Structure 1
Amino acid sequence: MKTVLITGANKSIGFETAKQLLEKGLFVYLGSRNLEKGEEAVKQLKSKGFNNVEAIQIDVANQESVDSARVELGKRTETLDVLINNAGITGDVPQNALDVTIDNFKNTYETNVYGPIRVTQAFIDLLKKSPEPRIVNVSSGQGSLTLASDPTNIYYPYKAAVYQSSKSALNMYTVVLAYELRETPFKVNAVDPGFTKTDFNGHHGTGTVEDAGSRIVKYALIGKEGPTGKYFSEEVNPETGEIPW
């Protein structure tokens, strides 16, 4: 049975992604910054008949928490097949380039950029034991420099200096990580789940968590001939999914 760790999985897109992967027969380690909320999410899933799920306490913005999660997961499994770096925050608003504070950048980057790096580095040894390891970094179409600078893009007027730049930085980490693992069985991609109605954006999105989860699951389970080092947003490009960096 394949195993997956999903950060920020106690609610919203992470929770739905966990549910869909459980439906496909994976064993899900549901990462949650708050263990009680993680355990409650596990109870919800088990009430629906999904038994192969356990909560893992992990605060991606805290190195000690990430290290402790690695130790704990190592007690439960020798191999990790899929890592989904889903945990993220928007940062304080507004985020005008001339007014935003450096602390806002620092706080947001701790979760959105340094978080996935911490988690990837901490769990890479378990992933290397998998015959088909997959890493999905949950990004945003708002992190595309090309789209953000295109006046014809529907989201062109919506600018957020902190959030957008944090996703752009995550995208570059994805590119470099995929390159370094290019001669291995790893597949590493950045995936935009779409503008989804969640607590994350005050439920102002246009898409559903079901659609968002399915987009992440698709790239978490790609086969040997699948892409790596790519950036996908099926909301932006419904035909092939791939979008410019």
Structure 2
Amino acid sequence: MTEKITALVTGANKGIGHEVAAGLAARGMTVLLGSRDRTRGEAAAARLRAAGADVRPVVLDVTDPATIEAVATGLTRLDVLVNNAGISGPLNEPPSATSPRTLREVFETNVIGVLTVTNALLPLLRRSPAARIVNVSSGVGSLAHHTDPDHYMSGLPASATYPISKTALNQLTVQYAKELRKDGILVNAAAPGACATDFTKDLPFPITRTAADGAAIVIKLATLPADGPTGGFFDDAGAVPW
């Protein structure tokens, strides 16, 4: 009997990550649900298992090499990696008021954490017949959006944390795609769009998109065919300008 495709989703105990885990499991995958908090991760996995999904919780803090190594050494197969875990930092704090410590904290999760997790799991992904890596980015990481006077993002308050961490993540995605193309591993960045989750609850405008809506593009990129794109940045409408 053929082994089931195995996926790992970081930061998956709630929000978009949770919906990605649910969506991949609904497509017949075994899903490892990564969460920093053991209790919350186990509860989230139990909810999905109650609906018939093959979902297993793993304690994974992308800023803690020990938890990353524990997950990596405990696996024998991995086909899909979704780097979803992320933090926002102070969105309304301008660059002139941002401390180096604050910027480091955001980069530690949103960029360095992605690199650390990916590198730890690459030996397994390289053995997969059709590995996929999806980095959950954001439209606010697009330099084109922020410099286009006709795009609403050009009018957003200046910030030196979340937006630039996602721009850096996009570049990291491109570099992994360049390196791993020869191995047949497709690596892409997803822009889920603003969704009604805990992550956006403090924004000063209503959001009607659900976490499941945001998860759709991530799931699509995680299940690309062999001739699918790599090194790209995509939302529901297609390619997002860098």
TM > 0.5 between the two? yes
Of 205-214 and 133-142, the range deviating more from structure 2: 205-214
Pick one of 2, 7, 10 that aligns with 2:10: 7
1:170-185 aligned within 5 A: 170-185=169-184
1:228-243 aligned within 5 A: 228-234=230-236, 238=237, 241-243=238-240
Give how far 1:57 is off. Answer: 0.4
Aligned equivalents of 1:166, 1:71: Cα separation in 2 = 28
More helix by share: 2
The answer to whether the 8 Å contact 2:91/2:162 transfers is no
For the residue of structure 2 that corresponds to 1:155, the secondary structure is helix
Structure 1 unaligned runs (5+)?
A: none
The answer to whether the 8 Å contact 1:4/1:27 transfers is yes
Give how far 1:22 is off. Answer: 1.0
Matched residue, 1:22: 25
The answer to whether the 8 Å contact 2:68/2:120 transfers is yes
1:1-245 aligned within 5 A: 1-50=4-53, 52-72=54-74, 74=75, 78-158=76-156, 159-202=158-201, 204=203, 205-234=207-236, 238=237, 241-245=238-242
For the residue of structure 1 that corresponds to 2:67, the secondary structure is helix
The answer to whether the 8 Å contact 2:94/2:160 transfers is yes
Q: Aligned partner of 2:42: which letter?
A: E
Task: Please list the CA deviations of residues 193-226 of structure 1 after superposition, one character each: whole Å capped at 9, or x if unmatched.
Answer: 1111110111653421111111110000000110
Q: TM-score, normalised by structure 1?
A: 0.93
For the residue of structure 1 that corresponds to 2:31, the secondary structure is strand
Q: Aligned partner of 2:182: which letter?
A: E
Of 111-120 and 199-208, the range deviating more from structure 2: 199-208
- Show structure 1 runs of 4+ deviating over 3 A: 203-206
Give how far 1:93 is off. Answer: 4.1
Q: CA RMSD in A?
A: 1.2
Identity fraction in percent? 40
Q: Aligned partner of 1:167: which letter?
A: K
Give how far 1:95 is off. Answer: 2.3
Aligned equivalents of 1:108, 1:24: Cα separation in 2 = 32
Task: Please list the CA deviations of residues 26-82 of structure 1 after superposition, one character each: whole Å capped at 9, or x if unmatched.
Answer: 0000000111111000111122222x111010100112221122123x2xxx22000
